[in-house]
Amino acid sequence: MALPRPRQYDLVLLGATGYTGKLCAEHITKNLPTDLRWAVSGRSHERLSAVVEEIKSYNPDRIQPAVEVVTLTLDDLRSLAQKSRLILNTVGPYFRYSSPVVQACAETGTHYLDVTGELPWVYEMVQKYHDVAKVNNAIIIPEIGLESAPSDLLAWSLATLIQEKFSLGTKEVVASVHDMHSQPSGGTLATVVGILDHYSLSELAKASAPWALSPVGGPKSSTHVPLVTRLLGVRKQPHLGTLTTSITAGPNVAIVQRTWGLLGGPKSYGPNFQYHEYMRVKNSLAGAIIHFALALGMVALAIPPLRWLCQYAAHSFYAPGQGAAKEVTAEESFELRAVAEADEDLPKPKRAMARFRYNGGIYYLTGVFLAEAAMVILKEDELTKNLGGGLLTPAMLGQPFIDRLRKAGIELECRIMPEQ
């Protein structure tokens, strides 16, 4: 959808000198249309110019990005937002730096994408700026990176397939991190430890409540989770293996639930829809150990002296803005699998299975998500018009987003399973 006034840029990459920002700039340079009008933005002209010089070698024939120096003040960010149709934001921790970026985009009708996984901050942004963004036709999509695009896209694909094939809703989607080999960046480590300094325990609990991000109330109770899972964190699923608590499940579940609500709640995936996410482990004992270790870790982070010790350890691993070298990340991989059960009163209901896999650097994948989602918003006029604006979710970009991800080297498969 065309914005009311011509903008100088199609997109601006904010935070281009950081670890994720540089990788996103690399993907844009190598893969996006050569006539794209874009800019890199941050606080240091010298560092931004160095990024431009570095990425120029990837594709010297394309239009090189302009440099926009900006401070993270609301006035500066409003000025930047008014120059661009869309802003890609990689400036984290988001709870500390990026609230005025969302505000500026919502108020100026500028589309916005980020790759946070900070659920309390996303909850805060929804409460403050969803209605503003909706009025101004600004598409604001947080968590369009590893958290929570794969989860949201698999849930959407499975529910859509079951509806198309059987005219049925989906009762439950069980997802599992089947494979993940990667190292966290300095920014990720700083965020995990620092978020408890910013939000109170009551704020964290409110944001983490079931269906907290959904504009429509979800099913009152879940009868799908076995008792042993609730007690020990271990669940066995025939097609996924032995599963346990996943540290990234919280933000992913919340985004999938928000998609359900935004698409119409009971009228979309079905009135009894549930989404649960775990990680695969070798056996039940390992699963129980991981479950309780994560629980103890969260308790430890809630104690200030222990949290400060973790902050020191995190900074000694990678400083914010830094991450693993390319030769290391080349060996990384990520795979998420999911099984969906149709909402029908049968002993053996119909099922579907989906798989998302990427071989390569996980933070490069994050840059792919940002860049390819941007192109969907910039090029798919009918989709953008129908979306309108507001705090939306990755799956609302639908099949065009999936198609672009596949062309970028991501495997995303979805199929009906044979009858049992």
The alpha-helical segments, DSSP class H, found in 244-283 are 249-262
Write down the pLDDT at residue 201.
83
Three-state SS at 229: helix
The alpha-helical segments, DSSP class H, found in 273-361 are 284-301, 304-317, 326-329
Judge whether 300 and 313 are in contact, CB under 8 Å: no
Write down the pLDDT at residue 195.
82
Write down the pLDDT at residue 225.
80
Which of 133, 141, 110 lies closest to 3 in space, CA to CA?
110
Q: How many Cα atoms sit within 13 Å of 179 on the Cβ side?
A: 11
Render each residue's pLDDT in the chain as its tens digit; 420 residues.
444 558 999 999 999 999 999 999 999 999 999 999 999 999 999 999 999 999 999 998 888 999 999 999 999 999 999 999 999 999 989 999 999 999 999 999 999 999 999 999 999 999 999 999 999 999 999 999 999 999 999 999 999 999 999 999 999 999 999 998 876 655 566 676 678 778 888 998 999 999 999 999 998 765 578 888 888 899 999 999 999 999 889 999 999 999 999 999 999 999 999 999 999 999 999 999 999 988 887 777 777 776 667 666 655 555 555 666 777 777 899 999 999 999 999 989 999 999 999 999 999 999 999 999 999 999 999 999 999 999 999 999 999 999 999 999 999 999 999 987
Write down the pLDDT at residue 2.
41
| Complete edge-to-edge strand list for the sheet that includes strand 111-114 | 66-69, 38-42, 9-14, 84-89, 111-114, 139-141, 390-391
Judge whether 43 and 71 are in contact, CB under 8 Å: yes
CA distances in angstroms from 62 to 38, 109, 150, 230, listed in the order given: 11, 28, 30, 54
Three-state SS at 223: coil
For residue 148, say if its preceding peptide bond is cis, omega within 30 degrees of 0: yes
Which of 353, 361, 362, 366 lies closest to 412 in space, CA to CA?
353
Give the containing element (helix H, strand E) for 4.
none
Judge whether 20 and 40 are in contact, CB under 8 Å: no
Buried b (16+ CB within 10 A) or exposed e, 207-224: bbeebbbbebebbeeeeb
User: Residue 313's CB: how many other CB atoms inside 10 A?
Assistant: 11
Amino acid letter for position 100: P
Give the containing element (helix H, strand E) for 332.
none
Those residues whose C-beta lies under 8 Å from the C-beta of residue 254, and which sit 6 or more positions away, are 119, 122, 123, 148, 207, 208, 212, 213
Cα–Cα distance for residue pair 40/64, rounded to 1 Å: 10
